[in-house]
Chain A
């Protein structure tokens, strides 16, 4: 098609793109729920807003998931002129994002049966400590977190289903913007929260800009933004290798930032600590799922043919991510920061699986994300419940002796930590095994080296997790008394699902592995 035809006479050659509404129905539902949320926020009476918002958001997520669960085979296809590709991996990732989003949403709505406030400030833009804040405080909670979360989820669903780099960029921004805002909305320690949001925003914008730059370079290389076209161009276009390699690396900057890989990880501890805890859980799980989904598509569809150009860099990134994430988690004294570094290390493990560049790698990454995502939401859910003087007791020393005060909760946290450490019979073990096995089988010597680095890093993280377990069960409680709040049904479900998946995916991983393997074929 000549450029003239592209912009040609308005009506003559313009053909509207075919839209398979079924394929994008889940996204449409989520988008619709988000928009209804905005209207509710604007027009519903203040008293009814919370219930209405929660119901709209939750129903939207469940309806979208139901569509995927029931109609998945019929949904598969390329639609919107190749901008959206709904294939096996995309559907699996969308399903995961929806379920984890629902769990995160349940935690965001946690109000301890009306006995305590939720985790969000009623007035995000007021100056902390100002009169305006006090005024807003009296008016009660705000509920804009729900539509914001839904918009973020929309971006997260589109991200792994993007057929071209521009759609991917749009999805990246759609998922990021609400997260920046959500980060700033912590009820307690608001300056920390706002600082975190600002950092996240500035650095996120920077890396998005790199992504866009990379997309432009790849367009220059392949003459198309479509990932499939880029993949085909890799074999046929010659003489512009510099553009390809530079563009690919810049794209990786944008995506690796989102997954929190070294050296783009330094925002994670600050943001995880500053953000309201339910948002942290949501972000840790869903962003990671979505970003790895996009990374998988980018690597497997668009760039697999040029792996020699960038593989070494990603190997180094994966190795560094595991080592730095695990070593830095050793000295953390704040449980949220510790979980942040642990998420960095996990990103490294997942990268190892991704670098297998094989369908086994896709399945392994999918399984890992499923097991890690639910568990991490539950972990942050538990953090939400442990309180000292009304605010969250995030300092690790405050968790000493928790096993005696709240044995069930501490046991739950212990189980999750064992899962993170990769102890057999938890989902973490199967997940680690799957990624390492994929890397060893398909990534040659580098896969073996990364696996060795991986298991040694696992040993370091295991040390960290065991220390917390020891602290909870075998130490005397510290000075200040720590309360453990009783979660409401929604929050308890979110935590329960995390615990359940940790055990069930550890003992009976076969169904999910089979699903992940059967849905590991990318379309383009």
Chain B
């Protein structure tokens, strides 16, 4: 079997070359591949019928149970024969059907042969996954075959429709197969069937029942059952040989095959039974009913196929020996007569260029062989003796004639369906070959079809006619399959005697004839019946709905809005950890103290008021100040808890952030621009409160869970013994956790460099800034050389002006008062920062706080005098400070190592200094100085980039906006 599959693959691969070389005759050569498959199956017949199913096994992906296992039992044997023989005939037919210059014929040939191979693989594979693989292969190849003429829009949409529907079913089936396979523990088809046949599924096993229904969904969609029946008639856009092969013998039979294959395992599951009977019955009736009103012969046959597929599913899915026997017999009969009829339509289309039965006239005379062929095939379809169709239908009617109510209902459906089938079969033959409605028109012009085109359908028709002669052997052969259900009551035969089934058959012929005779009235009646919403519309609506839902959800949730996205994340935060909090309700064990003193309550109230006011503020500046207030309030709380160092740092950080905020906010409008609707704002408030509440709740609950001793235990002693300082916060920074501080310094350095490199994009800018710094330094040196009193007072830093900054400040912006105060406090503040730096080891302070204080002093200078003033106050490049700071810190570590200590170890000296006494010196002071310098450098950097650079941008813009008005520079009003 594997060799045959490879042969198909090779044939498919060389098909384009062959077609290019030989033209359409290549099809005849390609027919060898499916013919070989059929021939091989025929040779194996004795072995198969003896019950010894030949198997082949090639390990492929053992870890996921994917094995190339093939097995040829009776069912596979039958389908191999059918698919192979009809495939070969269709390919031979193709050789005569297509024009030499048909575009894309090579690809078409490849797909058709490939399809034959996929079909062979599908019916012989004994591995569920390999079966699925071939299943999808038939889907994709049929898509390419249906869409053979991609220029036509209908062809395109039909192909897509078929693809979407069958892929959907296929994937659903895959889900079911996985569940089944995992449950049984193997994906070997024969073992799975054997397992479930031996131990039927318990009705309560919902998972498995779901899986079975999913598998059935695949079969239903593939075999075009209600509600997926619509893709099959639409797929008639394909070239006729494709319709003959795919829609009669092969692809749609894949679903039937699967049902037949799994029926021994699942037929007892009620869900399976109901699906099969209801969907199959409905499909049979609906297809036949629709078929009665088609004018396009191909569509008539397509709906007929739908109807027959419903019939087949009912028979093969029922799970009784009689029904199964009838099912496989009908499968065989249907393949013959339906392929034949499609090919006949192809010939007519070829010969007359139309398929409309209202236009065709008098073909009986011009194409007599074809007419006989069609009549025989149609007789088989209608179930008239002595055709195989009759034998199968007899068996089918007999199978349901002797049991319970459900069976009788099924029987009624089958009988009605057969009546309709008879009627449309008659309509087909009559419309195609006898006089059409255009009774008086001229006979349709015909150019004679070739012998191959007529011969191939004739062979199939002959087979339909001759097969019943071998009813006995066929019965024996098919029993190899149907026998697993038990011993059937009836066997296949042309004549059983005067049975009830025969009576029902006669009844169907009579009523069918009546329906045909009254076809005009029937058509009118059908027109009057209001159109039920066609499944195709439902499909379209679902697809449109999918589009629409997708669009709307995209529009609603994917507007690219940051608040929306953030909102989603926050909702999750509130819902999940918040939900856990509520669920575990840990508050019971909490012991909370509300307040230690009235002062704490007061500070808390201030914080709350500031927070609420900040949310309500519509001006940015106000909001920033109010947020600042909450920060200062927490500093107060720290202070009240006796942590002056923390409070100091908090105050300084808060101040710096407010200042930086304001520097940036200069560039934004004063008010928040998105007022938003009331509801939106309320929602935002809700979000904020909820997130805050969850975070606060976590903050309250989490520390309560502490069982381990805090890491800070013992640090107070260590700080004095090893760090030589009493300010534990500072000692932690410069000694105990000095490595962390070092890392942070590096990060600060990198961040400052990053900010600077963003602002000073180019070397030019950096060079310009450096030049300005150098100039400023030179100017100061000059000024110092003149003893602080420049004679003219224009280029100095002191003298007649308090600050140099005013020279470039706009006249409206500077304030003498501010300049005076700045001048007076700057040095005081700097001194204080030095004090903090040196005192920090034992008292509140330290390098970080001191650096912030110094930075604030610079901020004041900048605010009072602008960027020139900033340069004058600190005429060094920030990078120098940053580098020096890091060097000091790292050098401290190195120096300690050189002195044979550990890196960053603190050495304590008490140095006697005359007059002052003993001075307590710790080496970590150098480290602290490094911190100090880095912080100042960072502040300077930030001021230069967010302050000075923005200033220049603003000035540039103002300049551009009012080029005529000269900038007021210098002079005081």
Chain A residues packing against B (C-beta within 8 Å): 2-4, 6-11, 14, 123, 125-126, 132, 135, 195, 199, 202-203, 206-207, 210, 213, 216-217, 220-221, 223, 240-243, 245-246, 249-250, 253, 257, 263-264, 266-267, 269-270, 309, 313, 324, 327-332, 363, 418, 421-425, 429-430, 433-434, 436-437, 440-441, 445, 448, 451-452, 454-456, 458-460, 462-463, 466-467, 470, 473-475, 509-510, 513-514, 517
Contacts and interface: CB of A to CB of B under 8 A. Distances in A.
A474 B160 CA distance: 11
A-B pairs, top 8 by smallest CB distance, nearest first, are A242-B584, A331-B550, A455-B175, A424-B133, A330-B550, A474-B150, A246-B577, A459-B168
B179 A202 contact: no
Interface stretch (B567-575, B780-788, B808-816): B567-575
Contact of A240 (B140, B553, B705, B718): B705
A452 B210 contact: yes
A458 B64 CA distance: 20
B761 A123 contact: yes
Contact of A513 (B61, B129, B701): B61
A475 B159 CA distance: 13
A436 B175 contact: yes
Given A463-B167, A517-B63, 14 more contacts: A2-B709, A3-B710, A213-B698, A242-B581, A249-B580, A266-B557, A363-B63, A422-B171, A437-B178, A452-B172, A455-B175, A467-B160, A474-B156, A513-B61
Given A7-B736, A123-B761, A437-B178, A266 B172 contact: no
A448 B572 contact: no
A82 to B, nearest CB: 18
A507 to B, nearest CB: 9
Contacts of B147: 470, 474
Given A331-B550, A425-B133, A266 B710 contact: no
Nearest to B170: A459
A510 B565 contact: no
B568 A264 contact: yes
B182 interface: yes
Contacts of A474: 147, 150, 156, 159
A interface SS class: helix
Contact of A470 (B160, B713, B762, B905): B160
A203 B129 CA distance: 42
B interface SS class: helix
Contacts of A329: 550
B902 interface: yes
Nearest to A511: B61
24 contacts: A2-B709, A4-B713, A6-B711, A126-B761, A203-B565, A242-B580, A242-B581, A249-B577, A249-B580, A264-B568, A266-B558, A270-B560, A330-B546, A421-B167, A429-B133, A430-B64, A445-B207, A448-B207, A455-B214, A463-B168, A466-B160, A474-B150, A510-B60, A517-B63
B722 interface: yes
B702 A510 contact: no
Contacts of A330: 546-547, 550
Contacts, number: 222
Given A221-B705, A466-B163, A455 B172 contact: yes
B554 interface: yes
A221 B900 CA distance: 41
Contact of A423 (B136, B701, B706, B715): B136
Interface string B146-159: 01001000001001
Interface string B527-550: 000000000000000010011011
B564 interface: yes
A454 B572 CA distance: 23
B178 A440 contact: yes
Nearest to A444: B207
A452 B214 contact: yes
B132 interface: yes
Contact of B722 (A10, A195, A327, A332): A10
B950 to A, nearest CB: 13
Contacts of A451: 175, 178-179
Given A459-B168, A513-B61, A263 B571 contact: yes
A135 B762 contact: yes
A220 B705 contact: yes
Contacts of B912: none
Nearest to B206: A445
Contacts of A245: 577, 580, 584
A203 B736 contact: no
Interface in B122-174: 129, 132-133, 136-137, 140, 143, 147, 150, 156, 159-160, 163-164, 167-168, 171-172, 174
A284 B136 CA distance: 28
A210 B66 CA distance: 42
A430 B861 CA distance: 69
A223 B571 CA distance: 29
A220 B702 contact: yes
B424 to A, nearest CB: 33
Contact of A223 (B182, B564, B708, B736): B708
A266 B64 contact: no
B178 to A, nearest CB: 5
Contacts of A220: 702, 705-706
Given A2-B709, A474-B156, A203 B562 contact: yes
A216 B710 CA distance: 14
Contacts of B66: 430, 433, 509
Nearest to A268: B558
Interface string B739-782: 00000000000000000011001100000000000000000000
A42 B133 CA distance: 55
Contacts of B547: 330-331
B720 interface: no
B761 A448 contact: no
B164 A463 contact: yes
A434 B718 CA distance: 57
B722 A3 contact: no
B143, B171, B174, B549, most chain A CB atoms within 10 A: B171
A199 B761 contact: no
Contacts of B178: 433, 436-437, 440, 451
A242 B701 CA distance: 9
B160 A437 contact: no
B569 A459 contact: no
Contact of B569 (A203, A216, A462, A463): A203
Given A328-B553, A510-B63, A424 B702 contact: no
Contacts of B761: 123, 125-126, 132
A241 B569 contact: no
Contacts of B554: 328, 331-332
Contacts of B143: 466
B52 interface: no
A327 B550 contact: yes
Nearest to B765: A132
Contacts of B568: 263-264, 266
B844 interface: no
Nearest to A195: B560
Contact of A433 (B174, B549, B560, B580): B174
A2 B713 CA distance: 10
B497 interface: no
B260 to A, nearest CB: 22
Nearest to B61: A510
A309 B584 CA distance: 11
Given A250-B577, A459-B168, A207 B175 contact: no
B746 to A, nearest CB: 14
B576 interface: yes
Interface in B236-261: none
